[in-house]
Amino acid sequence: MTDSKYFTTTKKGEIFELKAELNSDKKEKKKEAVKKVIASMTVGKDVSALFPDVVNCMQTDNLELKKLVYLYLMNYAKSQPDMAIMAVNTFVKDCEDPNPLIRALAVRTMGCIRVDKITEYLCEPLRKCLKDEDPYVRKTAAVCVAKLHDINAQLVEDQGFLDTLKDLISDSNPMVVANAVAALSEIAESHPSSNLLDLNPQSINKLLTALNECTEWGQIFILDCLANYMPKDDREAQSICERVTPRLSHANSAVVLSAVKVLMKFMEMLSKDLDYYGTLLKKLAPPLVTLLSAEPELQYVALRNINLIVQKRPEILKHEMKVFFVKYNDPIYVKLEKLDIMIRLASQANIAQVLAELKEYATEVDVDFVRKAVRAIGRCAIKVEQSAERCVSTLLDLIQTKVNYVVQEAIVVIKDIFRKYPNKYESVIATLCENLDSLDEPEARAAMIWIVGEYAERIDNADELLESFLEGFHDESTQVQLQLLTAIVKLFLKKPTETQELVQQVLSLATQDSDNPDLRDRGYIYWRLLSTDPVAAKEVVLAEKPLISEETDLIEPTLLDELICYIGTLASVYHKPPSAFVEGSRGVVHKSLPPRTGSSESAESPDAAPSAGQAAEQPAVIPAQGDLLGDLLNLDLGPPVSGPPLAASSVQMGAVDLLGGGLDSLLRSDVGGSPAMGGSGFTAPGPAAPAAMGAPLGSGLGDLFDLTGGVGTLSGSYVAPKTVWLPAMKAKGLEISGTFSRQVGSICMDLVLTNKALQVMSDFAIQFNRNSFGLAPAAPLQVHAPLAPNQSVEISLPLNTVGSVMKMDPLNNLQVAVKNNIDVFYFSTLYPLHILFVEDGKMERQMFLATWKDIPNENEAQFQIKDCSLNADAVSSKLQGSNIFTIAKRNVEGQDMLYQSLKLTNGIWVLAELRIQPSNPSFTDLELSLKCRAPEVSQYVYQAYDAILKN
Amino acid sequence: MISQLFILSSKGDRLVYRNFRGDGGDDVTDAFYRAVTSLPGDQAPVFMAREGQHFVHVRHGGLYVGATTTADTSPFVLVEFLNRLVTLLREHCGTLSEKSVSVNVALVQELLGEMVDFGYVQTTATEVLRSATHGEPETTKAFSLLDLRSVGLFGAETQQSRVAPGSVTNRPVLPPRGEQGGRREVFVDVVERLTVVIAANGTPLKVDVQGEIRLKSFVPGACELRMGLTEELSVGTEEQCGYGRLPLAAVAFHSSVDLEEFEQERVLRVTPGPGEVTLMRYQLAEDVAVPLPFRLLPSVEWEPAGRLRIHLKLRCDLPPKNHAINVVLQLPLPREASSLAQELSSPEQTAELQGGGRSLRWAIPRCQGGAQLGAVFRVQLPPTPPLGLGPAALTFELPALTVSGLRLRWLRLSAPPGAPPGPPQRWVRHLTHSDSYVVRL
């Protein structure tokens, strides 16, 4: 007989041939023909055309042939129900056959034919078979009830088969018991409410007895059924445990695990103080360990389950670390699981051993595994604090190997270690930086960039490093782009003076040239944050980050408890509860562990602490400070204007220029509420003629500029006349007078330096002490030529508000140090607060109303502005020039009420109500009420009002 | 529960398919094959959830033996069952291959019908199946006495059996019906697997010995078998582990083993039907000093220009009358090596670079106990800073030896009444093979 005989293609001719053979008189030939048909059917060929001919062969006393025909029937009956009826008589007859094998075969097959008409005929034979004298027939019939229930549940109930099935639980034959249990368990699942299984101490006792005599597979059914039982008290739980424990040494791993499952569940009810509890715990470890010497597939399943058990009850396997050490010939999926469990079991006691292993793994050949091993070292460092130092040095050793993927993986985990132990291991940064060039994977690049940004102040060439990444910005992955953006913003906030250009570049790359919404949005958030309030930006971006939690990859305790109930089901392999992957009709009953009785402990497992601080990839996010966020959202921004910032950054500008008109106005220029765009790039103090300035730019900017500039606020806010700040006698002949101005969003300190000494002065420099609003020079003091005796020079020093903040008294006090080639001189001056009023300080009406109500009355301050004879409109426009915006005007009883808002550079809003009485010329005092969440500024706001209105 | 069961060839052709619960379409095998072939490398293949179905499979002899299942099923049941199925197919079809399965489709279907009903596993016991099935196996190759020369172990996945399976046991366990004559033989194998990690300074970090006693019977009908194990055996770590004792940390017996005489006499009694069964699995207690079969004394020198000179001395510490076969040493190299020069001590040894130059393979076909083999290798590596080598991994087989010292002292067979005269042939074999023998450098 050749093997290809069954496997020729079913051409039409062949079907005919088979037909002829099936109808042959010779039994042997018939059998061979049916075999051929089965062979064709098995490989998926359609031989349904032979249905009647095959069914004709059914009437035979050859059991082998009969089985084959039945197999054929099971397969095709559904597609040919009418023909299948032809077989019913034979089935019914076979159910009466003296040979139990044939009786069982008939019942088994009939249950598998899902044709209603046949099902009707099944009931009587099934009833008989359930009470058959032969256990083989009974066990088959028990399963058949489940089959019938699957087809027609109502029929099964009506016919009373369920009761018969229940009786079979007390059958003398353990295999019948096991099948009855299996069938009932399945039926019970579709009737969660019915008490089908009716487990009680008596029936449990019967099951436990059958357990000892059953085949291995039957034992599993019974054990799984036991796992659903809820013992009355801890004593009953213990007695069941005692009788289940011997199953732990069974050779069939499925039996072992089903037993483990029962024990794990019932252990919950035992008191931990009980001696028996400890004994039981000890007994659980060896069978779990033994599973690890089985076939790799079983090992894998075992490891997935052990992973859960270890998280729930680390004590069971805490001394078994060695069995989880990886063998070099394990399949990769087993290796990875073992690695995971090793980390979970790592503790101070065994960390040295674990680290030594991990280091060895990191030199293996399999790249995936090596990566995971390196990662594992990082997780050890985070988990076991005492080992962190050793882990870091191990990682450094690995970096020294220069093996590309090892280096990259090591850098990724070192980033995490930095986040767990900030300011502890920066000494390694230098080593990391050496490997910058070899990083080609996004995750490693992102990690490195994060490190550079985070420790920018300690890396001398941080700006160069980041700049080098910026060159290929658009070729980077999103992860790297986002990280680069954040890192450069951090760098800027830490070293503002040198990195202006860089931050501008990255902001424009992120917002204009990128299609990625995440990147763009983050870019805009930083941009606005920097432009509206650098101090807040600093607080936000450089905020202290929450430490990453010890085990971010720990399964959440509630989920873990649920999964423990599913030990030994697929859920334990996927590590997901069935609800997460089961589809369709099968009801998913949420399982939970039984409550512990007789135990003093209220809550179990303190080890399963909630995994707090799920640190996101990107640490720099806006903190949940309501007011700040509120302000951010209240910006009332129009759609982003994409023109000016790009144009501005492309204009050639010197450092001073950039600083002067540059950054602040640039940053501000996309704020839709402000018409002050286009002014960017100009340092000219005082009002500038827009048209004249527009022309030399020679770019599209001119047009834009014409459109938007030239009106309104370009005139700038009120500038007080210069006063002498530092008299010559105090400063060895240097006299400094000056004032403050605000031009299109940039603050300037306008200085006049006069040399009243007899020698030439040079090498000027200026520095501010920390002050209330973080005012700081945005550029060095530039005196281009040495200052000859009796000569004066006018300088406009651009300021920004990203310097260090310290509350001064009075609030607007500014201490300044000026140095020249002669000496260093100190003076202090008061700056008018209105230089800090930002251009987008106009609040929405509703917002104003809400905020006004929201601010408590005790924060309200009343002032009188004396001798001001201006009418309401004049007041309004005058104030608007200094960024105090009138939101509404009302006339009440002959008095004009102006409602105004302004915002300080640090995001503080001040709301004002100004009462003017134009009808009464003799009464020229204005009444000002200010409301602000920071009431201490009110006083200085009033001074600003007073100064502006009186000039 | 098992919904569908299938065996696919390595190319995804359906060899056997059975739908036990009447749900699910016929195209599961295609869905499975798509899923398994498109699986990313870092994901475990054993269980896969695809399109609302759960697949489980094991691979044997190039075939996919798989099943679909419902979510509440024990994964252990599935994997155990599939492994048993593979064993049973081997017993019934001789070998497990595309050819042997497709020739015996009818028999396989009949077996499946008895093994699983409505997705519930009913039995996997050979003797039960024997009484319930009627098909005859078709052998793909005539059994020849000449094959006896290369006696291999039937169960142990040793290097030898993987490469060239000893065919003595590769025949259906069941003699054709009506032929009482068949070869009546009983094989008992004591196979130990050795997992060793040796630190760079030569101290063993981990020595783990796992063993099992397997029985394969070709004797029709039941016959009682008694076997005496080494008397020094003691079970459980609490017991006194005096000198000369052989303490086992964990022991598991097959449910058919009668342990009545085990406590006192260390005698196992079993009445096996035809077929294969693992009688006992054991694990040697951790603190037992096991003589290690191999010592590796390496010396590594870096020569200028990235040349690495590796001098390996391999000492075989077995008793002189024993020997090791198929010894292979794998040494991972730190970088891709471009060339290899070698000096080996005997002509039958070979050495080569593998994995694109990432590792060095030194093969020694046979090594007598007490021998010391030396080898010098020079490899050309790309110039990089010096790095660690290794760890070296050894694989080998030690015929007629169990490292733990557990042996079968005797094996007695009492034939059932009515059996043909003359005792069946008995074969007792001992073997140790390396599961993972790692020497760190």
Q: What is the pLDDT of residue B408?
A: 87
Residue numbers in B near A215 (CB within 8 A): 123, 125
Tokens representing A942 are 């009033």
A257: nearest CA in chain B? Answer: B76
Q: Is residue B139 part of a domain?
A: no
Task: Indicate whether B218 and B319 sit together in one domain.
Answer: no
Full strand arrangement of the beta sheet holding B339-344: B294-303, B307-316, B372-380, B339-344
C-beta atoms of A253 and B80 within 8 A: yes
When pLDDT is cut at 50, 70 and 90, the band that residue B166 belongs to is: very low
- Residue B415's pLDDT is 67
User: Could you please report the per-residue DSSP string of A666-728?
Assistant: HHHTT-TT---TT-TT----S---HHHHHHHH-STHHHHHHHHSSSGGGG-S--PPPEEEE-G
- Any B CB within 8 A of A396 CB: no
Name which of A518-522, A688-692, B64-68 the model is least confident about.
A688-692
Q: What percentage of chain B exceeds 70 in pLDDT?
A: 83
From B98, B132, B166, give the residue that closes a domain.
B132
* CB B95 within 8 Å of CB B138: no
Q: Is residue B171 part of a domain?
A: no
| Contacts with B, A 347-376, CB within 8 Å | 360, 363-365, 368
Residue A143 has pLDDT above 90, yes or no: yes
Assess B118–A contact: CB distance below 8 Å, yes or no: yes
Nearest CB to A67; choose among B21, B22, B113: B113
Which of B42, B73, B197 comes nearest A368 by C-beta? B42
Query: Is the predicted pLDDT of residue A785 greater than 80, yes or no?
Result: no
Nearest to B117 among A143, A300, A336 (CB): A143
Same domain for B264 and B319, yes or no, is no
pLDDT of residue A4: 43
**B286 and B409 within one domain:** yes
Distance (Å) from the alpha carbon of A127 to chain B's nearest alpha carbon: 18
**Cβ contact (<8 Å) for A108 and B390?**
no
* CB contact at 8 A, A147 and A122: no
In percent, the amount of chain A with pLDDT more than 90 equals: 11
> Is pLDDT above 50 for A907?
yes
The Cα–Cα gap between A547 and A552 comes to: 11
Cα(A664)–Cα(A680) distance, rounded to whole angstroms?
8
B207 and B119 share a domain?
Answer: no
Looking at the complex, report in whole angstroms how far the Cα of residue B283 sits from the nearest Cα belonging to chain A: 8
Chain B environment of A339 (Cβ under 8 Å): none
Query: What's the rounded Cα separation, in Å, for the pair B69 and B79?
Result: 11
Q: Stretch A853-862: mean pLDDT, rounded?
A: 82
Judgement on whether residues B115 and B235 belong to the same structural domain of the protein: no
Is residue B392 in some structural domain? yes
Identify all chain A residues contacting B206, using CB atoms and an 8 Å cutoff. 322, 325
B111 lies in a domain? yes
**pLDDT at site B144:** 42
pLDDT at B159 over 70: no
The answer to whether residues B278 and B420 belong to one domain is: yes
Higher pLDDT, A6 or A175: A175
Considering the domain architecture, whether residues B101 and B220 belong to the same structural domain is answered as no
Q: CA A687, CA A713: separation in Å to the nearest integer?
A: 10
Residue A104 pLDDT class (50, 70, 90 cuts): very high
Residues 19-38 of A with CB under 8 A from B: 35, 38
CATH code of residue B41: 3.30.450.60
Contact call for B251 and A252, based on CB within 8 A: no
Enclosing H/E stretch for A342: helix A332-345
On whether the CB atoms of residues B22 and A114 are closer than 8 A, the answer is yes
What pLDDT, on a 0 to 100 scale, did the predictor assign at position A621?
36
Angstrom distances, CA of residue B260 to CA of A553, B267, B270, B334, B409: 49, 8, 11, 56, 18
What is the average pLDDT value for chain A, to the nearest integer?
A: 78
Q: Counting beta carbons within 10 angstroms of the beta carbon of residue B35, is it exposed (0 to 12), middle (13 to 18) or buried (19 or more)? A: middle
**pLDDT tens for each residue of B392-405:** 889 999 988 888 88
Chain A partners of B358 at a C-beta cutoff of 8 Å? 365
Please give the structure tokens belonging to residue A650.
């492309």
For every residue of A186-234, DSSP letters joined together read: HHHHH-SSS-SS---HHHHHHHHHHHHHS-HHHHHHHHHHHHT---SSH
Q: State whether A182 and B52 contact (CB < 8 Å).
A: no
B69 touches chain A (CB under 8 A): yes
**Tally of structural domains, chain B:** 3
Closest by CA position to A938, among listed A861, A874, A879: A861
Max distance between CA atoms of chain A, in angstroms, equals 137
A257-261 average pLDDT score? 88
Higher-confidence position of A56 and A586: A56
Give kind and range of the element (H or E) at residue A558: helix A557-565
Lowest mean pLDDT among A255-264, A310-319, A645-654, A726-735: A645-654
Contact A333 B43 (CB under 8 A): yes
Neighbours of A922 (CB within 10 A): 5
Q: Give the residue among A603, A701, A608, A605 at the shortest CA–CA distance from A651.
A: A701
Co-location of B298 and B259 in the same domain: no
Task: Give the best-scoring range by mean pLDDT among A444-448, A793-797, B48-52, B176-180.
Answer: A444-448
Q: Do A327 and B13 touch (CB under 8 A)?
A: no
Closest residue of A to B19, CA-based? A75
Of B69, B77, B135, which has the smallest distance from its Cβ to A220's Cβ? B77
How far apart are the C-alpha atoms of A629 and A100, rounded to whole Å? 80
Least confidently predicted of A24-28, A592-596, A938-942: A592-596
- Distance from C-alpha of A732 to C-alpha of A728, rounded to nearest angstrom: 6
Do B109 and B13 fall within a single domain? yes
ipTM confidence score: 0.70
> In chain B, which residues have their Cβ closer than 8 Å to the Cβ of A365?
332, 355, 358-359
Q: Does A880 touch chain B (CB under 8 A)?
A: no
Banded model confidence at residue B242, pLDDT cuts 50, 70, 90: low
Q: Which of residues 27-56 of B touch A (CB under 8 A)?
A: 29, 41-47, 49, 52, 54
CATH number of the domain encompassing residue B374: 2.60.40.1170
Domain assignment of residue B341, yes or no? yes
Q: Is the pLDDT of residue A375 over 70?
A: yes
Structural domain ending residue among the three candidates B95, B112, B132: B132
3-class state of residue A273 by DSSP:
coil
Dihedral angle of Cα B76, B77, B78, B84, to the nearest 10 degrees: 110
Chain B neighbours among A 524-563 (CB < 8 Å)? none
Q: In the predicted model, is pLDDT for residue A137 greater than 90?
A: yes
- Using left for φ > 0, alpha for ψ between -120 and 50, and beta otherwise, residue B236 falls in left
- Cα R_g (chain B), whole angstroms: 25
* Same domain, yes or no: B360 and B381: yes
| A691 — pLDDT class (breaks 50, 70, 90) | very low
Place of tokens 């402000």: A674
Count Cβ atoms below 10 Å from residue A862 Cβ, excluding itself.
11
Is A599's pLDDT higher than 60? no
Select the residue of A143, A250, A586 nearest B120 (Cβ to Cβ): A143
Quickly state the pLDDT bin for B322 (edges 50, 70, 90).
confident
Cβ distance B118 to A573 less than 8 Å, yes or no, reads: no
Burial of A859 (0-12, 13-18, 19+ CB in 10 A): middle
B11 CB-side CA count, 13 A:
2
- What pLDDT sits at residue A557? 79
Does residue B180 carry a pLDDT above 60? no
Any A CB within 8 A of B410 CB: no
* Predicted local distance difference test score (pLDDT) of residue B115: 92
* Structural domain includes residue B166: no
Do B416 and B346 sit in the same domain of this protein?
no
Q: Say what the pLDDT of residue A645 is.
A: 39
Please provide the size of chain B in residues.
441
Q: Give residue A618's pLDDT.
A: 37
Instruction: Report yes or no on B345 lying in a domain.
Output: yes
Q: Find the mean pLDDT for residues A198-209.
A: 85
- The Cα of A590 is separated from the nearest Cα of chain B by a number of Å equal to 12
> Which is more confident, A141 or A680?
A141
> Do B205 and B127 share a structural domain?
no
Distances (CA, A) of A179 to A158, A164, A224, A764, B255: 21, 13, 12, 97, 20
pLDDT at A695 over 60: no
Per residue in A12-67, pLDDT (tens digit) is 677 888 888 888 888 888 888 998 898 888 887 888 888 888 888 888 888 888 88
Q: What are B58-112's pLDDT values in tens digits?
A: 988 889 999 998 777 888 999 999 999 998 888 888 788 888 888 888 889 889 9
Q: Which of A6-15, A263-272, A409-418 has the lowest mean pLDDT?
A: A6-15
Identify the pLDDT of residue A822: 82
Residue B351 counted as domain residue: yes
Residue type, A669: S
Positive or negative torsion for Cα B104, B106, B108, B111: negative
Residue A141 has pLDDT above 90, yes or no: yes
- Above 70 in pLDDT, residue A805? yes
Does residue A835 have a pLDDT over 50?
Answer: yes
Contact B71 A582 (CB under 8 A): yes
Question: Closest to B106 (Cβ–Cβ): which among A35, A249, A328?
Answer: A35
Cα separation values, A89 from A71, A93, A108, A110, A118, Å:
17, 6, 15, 11, 10
Of B70, B99, B132, which closes a domain? B132
- Containing domain of residue B261, as a range? 185-290+403-439
Say whether residue A256 is in contact with chain B using an 8 A CB cutoff: yes
pLDDT at residue A680 is higher than 50: no
